[in-house]
Chain A
Amino acid sequence: MSDLAVVPSTPLLLSEHASLVDPVPQVRTAALRAAAWLVARATGPVLLVCAEPLGARVGRDLLAAAGWAGPVDDLVATAAAADAGDADPLPGAVLAVADGTARRGPDAPGGHDPRAAGFDERVEQALRDGDPGALSRLDQALARELLCAGAPVLRLVGRVVPAPASSWLDLAEDPFGVRYWVARWQGGAAGRMRAPTRG
């Protein structure tokens, strides 16, 4: 059985960047709820999957805020790791820190790219449907062009997290031109287990 929570990697979630008025109240609330849901179900170490050190800090902050005092194992989703030949399904709780594209609208960090919305929509469909296969097949080259920092994380998740019994896309928004997601996959004891995609 494996449970997954996907949360954004934005440094706006770090306490050191707190403002008097929270610029991302819904994102923060949803991310904290997802982290709390994950740690409430965790029976062993939480596996923290992220693409770079910033994501790891955001993930650890959220876990701490959710009251997690247990062990955290890090898995850095480099392009190489995401593409590595074999990947065994992971049991336990997985927190994936991953953003979508950063090219949504003229004020986006990477400027606007008309392909960004479609790319993000494909990810959202996979998160909503609990479809690891679709995540494992994400076009990594296009993701790089669209500044989708979370793509290697999502690809790795698609390869190591089995298909869930239930899945929810709690939040998908882009207040500053970067797509943020909060999603949860709840593993089930029976059925729907899929073999991980082989590279």
Chain B
Amino acid sequence: MMAIVNRTPDSFYDRGATWAEDRASDRVARVVAEGAEIVDIGGVKAGQGPAVDVEEEQRRVVAFVRRVRAAHPGVVISVDTWRAEVARAVCEEGADLLNDAWGGYDPRLAEVAASYGAALVCTHTGGMTPRSVPHRVAYDDVVHAAVRATVAEAERAVALGVGRDSVLIDPAHDFGKTTFHSLELTRRLGELTGTGWPVLVSLSNKDFVGETLDLPVGERLHGTLAVTALCAQAGARVYRVHDVVATRQVVDMVRSVTGHRPPARAVRGLA
């Protein structure tokens, strides 16, 4: 489980709930207690909004990474950024993973990961500029495009010196995609896991869920968990989530059905 921790005043789901550093710190403690192995700290809202320059993004995340590192030595700290300057600063503070949610927009990000021995998430956005909203995007085959882009980025990262076991790929639902694209990615996620690279999925409360069910942001948990189950069946490895406990239950349940996880304690009919 990768728990989302926003150091933003305006992210779509929590709307600044953890904008205050102490609130963000409380959320980290809570999600770690709930069993999240990874926290994903972000200082810039993914969608459109007021500009956040490098200095402001660093103000939001660098000291906070230091604080989380000190308080939770065992948790994997991921930082959601597309900027190499920010990536370098958080790696100096002990970040373990760079979540390049804008798909290699800044090609130096992989170099930073390599030089610090950090891990990297390679994401497909269809070449979108960070924080842009998709408009009439089209793919011959969105799944093929996602496979091609993420695998190419993963291989490039490895060639630059990122550990082969330190790379994840993420087809990036909603990013540079219509709802139909995200539904198709979910339906065919096995083509991503089939590449052999560990797949991260970021589905939590996203617009493709909301548009599919005609539900606003606060009412998308069940839809999120439904697509989570399908991705778990297809072999996704990391789930970037708002709700750690619910997602963990769904993924554990599915993995037990698929034979990848024993039940917690099964005695029914076996005494």
Contacts and interface: CB of A to CB of B under 8 A. Distances in A.
A157 to B, nearest CB: 22
B271 interface: yes
Nearest to B266: A19
A10 B269 CA distance: 10
A19 B271 contact: no
Interface string B215-232: 000000000000000000
B261 to A, nearest CB: 8
Contacts of A109: 271
Contact of B271 (A18, A20, A21, A178): A178
B93 to A, nearest CB: 35
The secondary structure that dominates the A interface is loop
Contact of B267 (A20, A23, A102, A108): A23
Interface-centre pick from B262, B266, B271 (highest chain A CB count, 10 A): B271
A102 B267 CA distance: 14
Interface string B191-203: 0000000000000
B263 interface: yes
A176 B271 contact: yes
A149 to B, nearest CB: 11
Interface in A84-132: 102, 108-109
A117 to B, nearest CB: 17
A18 B262 contact: yes
Interface in A1-34: 10-12, 17-21, 23
B264 A17 contact: no
A43 to B, nearest CB: 34
B252 to A, nearest CB: 9
A176 B271 CA distance: 6
A7 B271 CA distance: 14
Contacts of B263: 19-20
Contacts of A18: 262
Contacts of A176: 267, 271
B265 A20 contact: yes
A177 interface: yes
A107 to B, nearest CB: 9
B51 interface: no
Interface in A49-84: none
A191 B72 CA distance: 66
Interface string B238-271: 0000000000000000000000011111110011
B184 to A, nearest CB: 35
A172 to B, nearest CB: 15
A11 B261 CA distance: 19
Given A19-B265, A177-B271, 18 more contacts: A12-B267, A12-B271, A17-B266, A18-B262, A19-B262, A19-B264, A19-B266, A20-B263, A20-B264, A21-B264, A21-B265, A23-B265, A23-B266, A23-B267, A109-B271, A176-B267, A176-B271, A178-B271
Closest 3 CB pairs of A and B: A176-B271, A21-B265, A19-B265
17 contacts: A10-B270, A10-B271, A12-B267, A12-B270, A17-B266, A18-B262, A19-B263, A19-B265, A19-B266, A20-B261, A20-B264, A21-B265, A23-B266, A23-B267, A108-B271, A175-B271, A176-B271
